[in-house]
Amino acid sequence: MISEGERKISWASQRMDVLNQIKKRFSREKPLEGLTIGMALHVEAKTACLVEALVEGGAEVAITGCNPLSTDDDVAKALSGRNGVSCYARYGLSREEYYKAINKVLDHKPDIVIDDGADLIFELHMRRADIIENVVGASEETTTGVNRIKVMEAEGVLKFPVIAVNNALTKFLFDNRYGTGQSTWDGIIRTTNILIAGKNVVVAGYGWCGKGIALRAKGLGANVIVTEVDPVRALEALMDGFRVMPMEKAVEIGDIFITATGNRDIIQGEHFLKMKNGALLANAGHFNVEIDVDGLEKMAKEVRESRKMITEYNLGDKKLYVLAEGRLVNLVAGDGHPIEVMDMSFSNQALCAEYLWNNRERLENRVYDVPSEIDRSVAEIKLETIGVKIDTLTDTQIRYLSSWRDGT
Ligand code: NAD
Ligand code: ADE
């Protein structure tokens, strides 16, 4: 009988049309023949489809999770049984076990690294100098990981080229915005079973993730409040129709708080004391540093599991509820982004692995954007697989756009 993990992978695979096209070509051309790819990603069904495509391309894959609570054990088990795949991911790893699993991936001496959050790249640089020479390059999936690697580049410590997959248009415009927008609400709603209409929802950070979360909150009928530190993004939120105010004020009126800043200490200390009884707190940012859960625990008289994935903090005069331990709520309390969105993100990843290998002689130890040919081809194939056609420029239009003589 087919296992639960295989069923989940097969369900996702049927909807990853772009990645499937790439997989077919990889199967014919074997562009990754003989390579070892080391990965630290959220190990769930869509990620398994990326692994399948890389293996079809001829690679051996060693993979672990990039968050202690985002692994789907059914999928991890299914991956472990595959030829050419070693999977070290498991749900609920301690910090020590998490880094042990990363080191097991590194023991495979990867030629290429695919990371989400940069913990694997960090470990390679800090503790695995023994194998770092072997790595021709890496790609990074998320904003926080790209930020970390850009700091490494600025400090002159980066030891191989890294492609910022997060910064591809076909990644952040869809994954960070519509992916996080939908899956964050999926995680919150399936965990709490509460009505969103009429609630005051506070979204911290109006970046690509925050925009998606706020947009979907509005669609669900919430009154949306945005907090920001960037004046341009604050203005954008205002003109998109949301109220903007400092967190210090927002904490007094919010029913549901969602952080998506990639920064730390967004909700902490005094904030908890000013909140309404029953307020729900969730995080969609990469690391669990946005809501100071440890600080809240110290302030609480009693802490208990209120329902699966919901921790109740009794502060005496009120109870506050933290979802998914303050870790990314869409992956820990949900299935991550919708399949069709990860199709584009992971197609970029597969094509960037091929690009890194083909261009290994000329790439420097820098952070690179995804080549625009790759980004554009992902959009083109996506449209084609959806069955949407678009217009093409005529020769006259091309000439017009490249001339400066035609005016009034
Ligand atoms: P972004 O850079 O586009 O936006 C972050 C925003 O937060 C910026 O506008 C910034 O000004 C704002 N900000 C920073 N500090 C703040 C503070 N103290 N108060 C209020 N606002 C503040 O980043 P993004 O692409 O939206 O990603 C945000 C986080 O979500 C990152 O950690 C990223 O890795 C993560 N992410 C998660 C998922 C997911 O599946 N949950 C998906 C993609 C990205
Ligand atoms: N599923 C696998 N990786 C993911 C990611 N980075 N964000 C959301 N869902 C995912």
**Main-chain phi, psi angles of 320, to 5 degrees:** -115, 150
What single DSSP character describes residue 324? G
Percentage with pLDDT > 70 across the chain: 100
List, for residues 145-171, the tens digit of each pLDDT value.
Answer: 999 999 999 999 999 999 999 999 999
What's the confidence (pLDDT) of residue 378?
98
Helix (H) or strand (E) holding 406: none
Any atom of ligand 2 within 6 Å of the Cβ of 342: yes
User: Atom 9 of ligand 2 has which residue's CA nearest to it?
Assistant: 336
Any atom of ligand 2 within 6 Å of the Cβ of 71: no
pTM of the shown model: 0.97
> What residue ranges in 167-301 does DSSP mark as E strands?
200-204, 223-227, 243-244, 256-259, 280-283
Any atom of ligand 1 within 6 Å of the Cβ of 13: no
Helix (H) or strand (E) holding 359: none
List, for residues 60-77, the tens digit of each pLDDT value.
Answer: 999 999 999 999 999 999
List, for residues 9-59, the tens digit of each pLDDT value.
Answer: 999 999 999 999 999 999 999 999 999 999 999 999 999 999 999 999 999
Q: For residue 42, report the distance from its CA to the centre of ligand 2, in Å.
A: 6
Residue 218 neighbours by CB distance under 10 Å:
15
Choosing from 176, 186, 206 the residue with most ligand 1 atoms within 8 A of its CB, the one to mutate for a pocket test is 176
Strand order in the sheet with 302-307: 243-244, 223-227, 200-204, 256-259, 280-283, 319-323, 310-314, 302-307
What single DSSP character describes residue 32? T
Radius of gyration for the alpha carbons in the chain, expressed in angstroms and rounded: 22
Helix (H) or strand (E) holding 179: none
User: Atom 11 of ligand 1 has which residue's CA nearest to it?
Assistant: 230
Mean pLDDT of 123-140: 97
Mean pLDDT of 262-285: 98
332 pLDDT above the threshold of 90: yes
Any atom of ligand 1 within 6 Å of the Cβ of 70: no
Residues in the chain, total: 408
Mean pLDDT of 342-354: 98
**Main-chain phi, psi angles of 251, to 5 degrees:** -65, -25
Confidence label for 81 from pLDDT (cuts 50, 70 and 90):
confident
The closest of 239, 248, 231, 286 to 264, measured between CA atoms, is 286
